[in-house]
């Protein structure tokens, strides 16, 4: 088998094993949450007999290992059961909210990725001079703010000082595309601030590392301008680390938006998770946690595969 195919298969297999391990951690973590699920559903006034019947109907009296394999078997078929608090099908509820999360992540990614790469190239072009220092300073200042601080700062600036947007990002089925864009404008701005610096600095570092190569000096001796050297020779050879950091940040935009969604009351997967953690609705917490883990691991596997494919020594082994 070609070494390239072998490495790709190994990465995929490792990702599946990691996802299985994460599913165990999610189950154990949810089991360790304080409180009683039956008590949370029935309230403090429930009698011991009612609580015992509720635990029996929910299967809470079964051994933990038995409940884990039952849950995992159903999850592999896409059946996450129903929410304990409102009896709504979890898979259907996740499908509705996952679309909102992916829309928010896509809007932030479409802005952040090209902007970060462009700033990284510009900083590398002017390495050590004032454009490089200005770009690095501003982006580092932005990423140093905690998400909730950045969110409240943006809310104050764009809803109070310059009242051009609404502080709550309400979306609902049937909204037009432009209406939806307007609704998510504030959380998109915050997410771009959060992920911009990491991608910019990795792009800058990867370009500067490649610029030390002998073929770059050859290109410069041929009379190419600095930007031509970067675009034609440095950037294609720095693709692997740049793609890796871009994919990791895209994964964060999907699974790390819980704080932003809560601050802006955005009806998506992160808000759904927080609502049901407070209710101790274990099936919902487990399902959303598994979805987040699968997305994050899947995107990281994709980044690994791109890095492998982009390596010419693996594509053309001697």
Give the DSSP per-residue string, 202-256: HHHHHHHHHTTSHHHHHHHHTT--HHHHIIIIIHHHTHHHHHHHHHHHHHHHHHS
The answer to the question of residue 227 being in a domain is yes
- pLDDT at position 108 is 92
Cα separation, 249 vs 298, whole angstroms: 13
Cα separation, 220 vs 226, whole angstroms: 8
CA atoms within 13 A on the CB side of 6: 6
The answer to the question of residue 276 being in a domain is yes
Cα separation, 246 vs 252, whole angstroms: 10
Contact assessment for residue 176 and residue 97, using Cβ atoms and an 8 Å cutoff: no
The answer to the question of residue 30 being in a domain is no
- pLDDT at position 83 is 82
- pLDDT at position 17 is 92
| pTM confidence score | 0.81
Cα separation, 98 vs 270, whole angstroms: 9
Digit-by-digit pLDDT tens for the chain (318 residues) are 666 777 778 888 888 899 899 888 888 887 776 666 676 666 676 777 777 777 777 677 777 788 888 888 888 888 888 887 777 888 888 888 888 888 999 999 999 999 998 898 888 888 888 888 898 888 888 777 788 888 888 888 888 888 888 888 888 877 888 888 888 999 999 999 888 888 898 888 888 888 877 777 777 777 777 777 777 777 777 777 888 888 888 888 888 788 888 888 888 888 888 888 777 777 888 888 888 888 888 888 888 877 777 665 555 555
What is the number of structural domains in the chain?
1
Contact assessment for residue 135 and residue 201, using Cβ atoms and an 8 Å cutoff: no
The answer to the question of residue 230 being in a domain is yes
The answer to the question of residue 286 being in a domain is no
With a CB cutoff of 8 Å and minimum separation 6, the contacts of 10 are none
The answer to the question of residue 81 being in a domain is no
Cα separation, 240 vs 141, whole angstroms: 27
The parent domain of residue 190 ranges over 90-281
The answer to the question of residue 32 being in a domain is no
Cα separation, 251 vs 104, whole angstroms: 12
The answer to the question of residue 308 being in a domain is no
Distances (CA, A) of 156 to 149, 162, 164, 171, 186: 11, 8, 11, 21, 11
Cα separation, 192 vs 250, whole angstroms: 11
82: which strand partners? 89
Cα separation, 139 vs 200, whole angstroms: 8
CA atoms within 13 A on the CB side of 93: 22
* Residue in this structure with the two tokens 């004032």, named with its chain if needed: 130
Give the domain CATH number at 274: 1.10.3720.10
Cα separation, 279 vs 270, whole angstroms: 15
- pLDDT at position 128 is 81
């Amino acid at each position: 088998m070609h070494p390239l195919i072998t490495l790709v298969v190994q990465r995929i297999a490792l990702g599946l094993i990691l996802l299985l391990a994460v599913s165990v951690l999610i189950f154990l973590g949810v089991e360790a949450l304080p409180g009683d699920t039956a008590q949370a559903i029935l309230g403090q006034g429930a009698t011991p007999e009612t609580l015992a019947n509720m635990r029996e109907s929910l299967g809470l009296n079964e051994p933990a290992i038995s409940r884990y394999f039952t849950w995992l078997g159903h999850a592999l078929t896409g059946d996450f059961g129903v929410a304990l608090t409102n009896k709504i099908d979890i898979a259907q509820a996740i499908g509705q909210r996952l679309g909102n999360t992916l829309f928010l992540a896509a809007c932030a990614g479409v802005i952040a990725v090209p902007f970060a790469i462009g700033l990284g190239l510009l900083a590398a072009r002017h390495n050590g001079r004032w454009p490089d220092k200005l770009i690095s300073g501003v982006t580092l200042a932005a990423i140093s703010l905690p998400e909730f601080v950045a969110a409240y700062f943006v809310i104050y600036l764009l809803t109070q000082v310059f009242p051009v947007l609404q502080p709550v990002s309400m979306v609902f089925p049937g909204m037009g595309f432009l209406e939806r864009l307007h609704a998510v404008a504030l959380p998109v701005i915050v997410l771009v601030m959060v992920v911009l610096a990491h991608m910019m600095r990795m792009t800058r570092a990867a370009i500067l590392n490649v610029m030390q190569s002998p073929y770059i000096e050859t290109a410069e001796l041929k009379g190419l301008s600095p930007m031509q050297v970067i675009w034609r020779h440095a950037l294609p050879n720095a693709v692997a680390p740049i793609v890796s950091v871009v994919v990791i940040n895209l994964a964060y935009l999907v699974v790390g938006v819980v704080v932003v969604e809560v601050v802006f009351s955005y009806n998506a997967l992160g808000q759904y998770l927080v609502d049901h953690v407070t209710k101790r609705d274990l099936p919902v917490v487990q399902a959303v946690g598994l979805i987040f883990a699968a997305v994050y691991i899947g995107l990281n596997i994709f980044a690994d595969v791109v890095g492998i494919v982009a390596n010419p020594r693996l594509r053309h082994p001697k």
